[in-house]
């Protein structure tokens, strides 16, 4: 059976007057539900400079978590998760109109884990990293103007990291009635750690720093505090949020006619 341990931490940062990040999780209620539904983790970063960022991030995460809990048991995470994020986009968009806060928006990154797989869905520049064998690899790509230009070959990676548009989002939840959700599926192994974070973390913390602080023997709560402290020390100009999820064991399965079966 899939067995996880996790921690989460959100900090206002040294400069911001309020925290516009929001995070949450939906664990299975029983071992049986671990197989039929799995786990969900979600983190959102309300877009700064717009009124209602903190409202948007909370609405997005709460919408995704509620939809996950209400979904039919056995529904495929790879099909379910992007639908939940699109529903969250509608909720944020309509909430902004109803509150007179048209244009309020947020990023989101969500991870659904079941058996030996993780499905990652995201919009914006909040990230998910996979930490394995002493290396932290990003499973997401930033939806920013600079990142899109780099993918098109208009900017070098170095230029994209320094240009003024590196923080300008090319897509976000709530900014329009429709949104393009990027989704990927990955195998997880015993000992892997997933890190979900807002851009306030990686603005000052590198992948090497993450791999150094989050090891197979790390206490996750202590590692989260160290990551946030390092981000504040090096930058601290934005809210900083972190979720760390360690895979303690997995259940390897195959699929036959849409039904999972255990692999030995």
> Domain 3-249: what homologous superfamily?
PPM-type phosphatase domain (3.60.40.10)
Structure letter (DSSP) for residue 14: S
pLDDT at 157: 72
| pLDDT tens, residue by residue, 199-226 | 999 999 999 999 999 998 999 999 999 9
In 71-144, which ranges are continuous DSSP H helix? 77-98
- So where are the chain's domains? 3-249
pLDDT at 261: 54
**Nearby residues of 93 by Cβ (< 8 Å), 6 or more positions away:** 173, 174, 175, 176, 177
| Cα gap 36→56, rounded to integer Å | 30
Mean pLDDT of the chain: 91
Residues 129, 139: contact at Cβ < 8 Å?
yes
pLDDT at 17: 87
pLDDT at 153: 73
203-239: b or e for each residue (b if 16 or more CB lie within 10 Å)?
Answer: bbbeeebbbbbbeeebebeebbbbbbebbbeebbebb
Q: List, for the chain, all residue ranges whose pLDDT scores fall below the cut of 50.
A: 256-257
């Amino acid at each position: 059976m899939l067995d996880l341990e996790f921690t989460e931490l959100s900090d206002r940062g040294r400069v911001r007057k309020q925290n516009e990040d929001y995070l949450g999780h939906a664990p299975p209620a029983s071992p049986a539900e671990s197989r039929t539904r799995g786990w969900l983790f979600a983190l959102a970063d309300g877009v700064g400079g717009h009124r209602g960022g903190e409202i948007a991030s909370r609405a997005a995460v709460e919408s995704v978590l509620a939809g996950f809990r209400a979904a039919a048991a056995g529904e495929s995470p790879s099909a379910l998760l992007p639908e939940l994020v699109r529903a969250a986009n509608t909720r944020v968009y309509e909430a902004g109109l109803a509150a007179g806060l048209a244009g309020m928006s947020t990023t989101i990154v969500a991870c659904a884990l079941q058996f030996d797989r993780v499905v990652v869905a995201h919009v914006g520049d909040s990230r998910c990293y996979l930490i394995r064998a002493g290396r932290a690899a990003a499973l997401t790509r930033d939806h920013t103007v600079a990142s899109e230009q780099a993918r098109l070959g208009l900017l070098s990676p170095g230029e994209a990291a320094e240009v003024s548009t590196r923080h300008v989002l090319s897509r976000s939840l709530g900014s329009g009635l429709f949104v393009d959700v990027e989704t990927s599926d990955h195998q997880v192994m015993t000992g892997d750690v997933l890190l979900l974070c807002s851009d306030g973390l990686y603005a000052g913390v590198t992948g090497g720093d993450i791999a150094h602080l989050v090891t197979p023997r790390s206490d996750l709560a202590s590692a989260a505090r160290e990551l946030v402290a390092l981000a504040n020390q090096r930058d601290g100009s934005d809210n900083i949020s972190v979720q760390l999820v360690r895979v303690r064991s997995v259940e390897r399965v195959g699929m036959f006619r849409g039904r999972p079966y255990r692999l030995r």
